[in-house]
Structure 1
């Protein structure tokens, strides 16, 4: 049973989970920045990422853009502009190897207002951990649940490009036009509407030479190789814009046994029913069954977004599954526990879940690509989900207007080999 089946009931047949789902669209909905495939755009075209960020860590060749996402979070980081990117190598020899898929976050401060106290309160008041309101506030900002005036930091929808205002039904992936720093009252209004729409050992914080070097690297881009010319990249995937809706799960009807039917025990062989049950369960990957069942409620989804939410895992047995698998209690999966992502290599803060790509994104991106680009080496993607974990502190250069580039955690679960 899905963990949401008993919560937040809309009516007898449907349940709202609070997860924001992204859907591909060939036409612009609201957002001109957030998209699958296509070519990347930067927060500032004069400050692209370090050139090394373009390359696959396996073959050292330029990768293709999988996703660009407008990521402003006014309720959490009211002074920051954010942009998220996911790149992948399309070359067959690189499939299933670490470093063939990479995730990045670009951020810059637009004001020096007081930092939000929300995270500090979570640390000092355990009883207030994981309140529902912040997640809801995030949703309204990303997708714009109510009409309100927005600004550069208080954008109603991270998937939308409507800078002037936001109204019900806005695409949560919108991009605002640069403007003055938001007033506190605007942030408060944004938080309220945003809520209605919208997902091993760690290094010690900034103490080791490696971490110190990493911290200096993104802001020292002038000394690094430049971002390659577009001609150096393979043929890009087709560009698709994003539309979004909250996830709604339909409740399956409970089968009933007619009164005139009698149930008789099955004849068992061997050591008994326990063996049959074990044999049956051994044939099924519980994680994948749950993963597939959940996606089947909304099969056209390409993206699942819930800042500080819980990733939907396709396997508990691989490296990512073992790291992030929620705790079990008496055989029942709960969503209150879970493992940990690697800490931020730049500031040492924990990382949290922001979004994941799901398999239908592959179908969308690869549609019509036969014979395009790398030929026989352009073999197609083989992942079941890609999870992006981001720095919980959104570490960013302190100088207003300075863009910081950070490589974030891309947790890849690959398709099971048959």
Structure 2
């Protein structure tokens, strides 16, 4: 972590306060998968084992081949991660090579996304979208009804104007008769629609799961090497302790924490990294951040900010040095020069665009050191570790080696922000198999 400012203070080193939820979801190992149905269900996220594919046509096993030794790699994780309000079922697959000669080389970790168009869910999304538009139209008509005679007769929404949503007009009446509608009627209609949404939630989830069943019977994938038994990959929100209070001059204005929609703190993503020749502050911050939940195997934060492992070339490209004014060359022109601070700002040259749609690639998730522990069977028991034991286990993984095993510190995965499904001639496909970009920071 960068050194704290001298003006920072707190009433107590153990100041009590509620933890702050961030925008990051943590993937944690949650016991072996024993059900054959769940093993064949692509909606069941997992660590190790064999993949359960979404595309109707099974992808070639060459997708898992290491680009260095050309041998098939073991599945590290499979994550069920459909984009919000997308008609596509979506899963992310990450393979890694454990051969010692392939470590520290590009191509020894590969990530793919599988998409499949879900027709029934797409129809449900259209219905929900239409209902949302109807609700918005109903609210607008209610507001017009309150205005009464104050409504502008020359407005495009004046009488004689028909609703652009025919179904909404049939349910809520012609907009021309909006003045006769009461607020109670509006509330009743909205309440009924909300109840309908709640009732369909369970069936909607069932629909998602039912549409993702797959099988690997009589497939070369079934005979591929794998980490067994596969483990459930469950998710939990990340919580950080509150920051200590800062001492500020009287009357000074203090900016609020950056908060995204939903009330989650994202200010941590804007914390700068200071340059230092004495210690690797990037690694220190990584260790401290991971130490709050040492069991994390995955960090998922779509379109968010990755947590860099060390100050290597990848860090330099993702967190470039900001431009600064040149130092004065004449003695009278003394000036105060503040330390340079780095923030996440990858260039297009670093994150190559999606080869299919040429769209921007954004950070989606990263694999954490504890995943190596899990795959090696280091934490096969259910013992809960203390904070110090977790820190020691992570550091041992980072600095330790083995005759055969992975040696990375973290693997960052960047995906097409459009989640595109177009083919070579620009036509949308119902089944998609696309490789995504992986940047690996190796251990220290």
Same fold (TM over 0.5): yes
Q: Which residue number corresponds to residue 309 of structure 1?
A: 304
> How far apart are 1:323 and its partner, in Å?
2.4
Could you tell me how far 1:147 is from its partner in structure 2? 6.7
Q: Alpha carbons of 1:28 and 1:54: their partners in 2 closer, same or farther (altered >3 Å)?
A: closer
Corresponding residue number in structure 2 for 1:402: 430
Query: Contact between 1:51 and 1:227, CA under 8 Å: does it hold in 2?
Result: no
Query: Could you say if the C-alpha distance between residues 87 and 151 of structure 1 is closer, same or farther in structure 2, counting changes exceeding 3 Å?
Result: farther
Gaps in structure 1 of 5+ consecutive residues = 118-145, 156-162, 165-174, 180-225, 257-279, 371-375
Q: CA deviation at 1:234?
A: 2.9
SS at match of 1:93: helix
Which residue is 1:94 aligned to?
102
Q: Say whether the 8 Å CA contact 2:415–2:436 is kept in structure 1.
A: yes
Q: 3-state DSSP class of the match of 1:90? A: coil
Corresponding position: 1:48 with 2:58: yes
Give the TM-score of the pair, scaled to structure 2: 0.55
Per-residue deviation, residues 347-389 of structure 1 (Å, max 9, x unmatched):
211101111111111111111699xxxxx99611101111111
Q: Aligned partners of 1:148, 1:335: CA distance in 2, in Å?
A: 44
Query: Would the alpha carbon gap of residues 389 and 42 (structure 1) be closer, same or farther in structure 2, given more than 3 Å must change?
Result: same
Q: State whether structure 2 residue 350 is matched by structure 1 residue 325.
A: no
Say whether residues 1:85 and 2:93 are aligned partners.
yes
Which residue pairs with 2:230 in the alignment?
Answer: 239
Q: 2:75 aligns with which of 53, 61, 65?
A: 65
Question: Does the 8 Å contact 2:80/2:92 carry over to 1?
Answer: yes
Pick one of 104, 108, 112 that aligns with 1:104: 112
Alignment of 1:221-370 (within 5 A): 228-231=220-223, 233-251=224-242, 281-318=276-313, 320-325=314-319, 328=322, 331=339, 333=341, 335=343, 337-340=345-348, 341-367=351-377
Pairwise CA RMSD: 4.0
Aligned residues: 283
Q: Which whole-Å deviations, capped at 9, do the CAs of 1:145-166 have from their partners, x for residues lacking one?
A: x9774489x75xxxxxxx26xx
Q: Is the Cα–Cα contact under 8 Å of residues 325 and 339 in structure 1 kept in the other structure?
A: no
Alignment of 1:168-183 (within 5 A): 176-178=209-211
Number of the residue aligned with 1:415? 443
Maintained 8 Å contact 1:238/1:365: no
What per-residue deviation string (whole Å, max 9, x for no partner) do you get for residues 214-244 of structure 1?
xxxxxxxxxxxx973433x334243111222
Distance 1:349 1:253, change over 3 A: closer
Bigger Rg over Cα: 2
- Tell me how far apart the structure 1 counterparts of residues 68 and 96 of structure 2 sit (CA, whole Å): 11
The match for 2:405 is: 380
TM-score, normalised to structure 1, is 0.58
State the partner residue of 2:49: 38
User: The residue matched to 2:304 in structure 1 has which SS?
Assistant: coil
- Which consecutive residues of structure 2, in runs of 5 or more, have no partner in the other structure? 3-7, 9-15, 130-196, 213-217, 248-274, 324-337, 381-400
SS at match of 1:40: coil
Where 2:72 maps in the other structure, the secondary structure is coil
Which secondary structure state, in structure 2, belongs to the residue aligned with residue 176 of structure 1? Answer: helix
Residue 129 of structure 1 corresponds to which residue in structure 2?
A: none
Report the 3-state secondary structure (helix = DSSP H, G, I; strand = E; otherwise coil) of the residue aligned with 1:53: helix
Q: How much has 1:13 moved relative to structure 2?
A: 4.5
- Contact 2:32/2:229 (<8 A) preserved: no
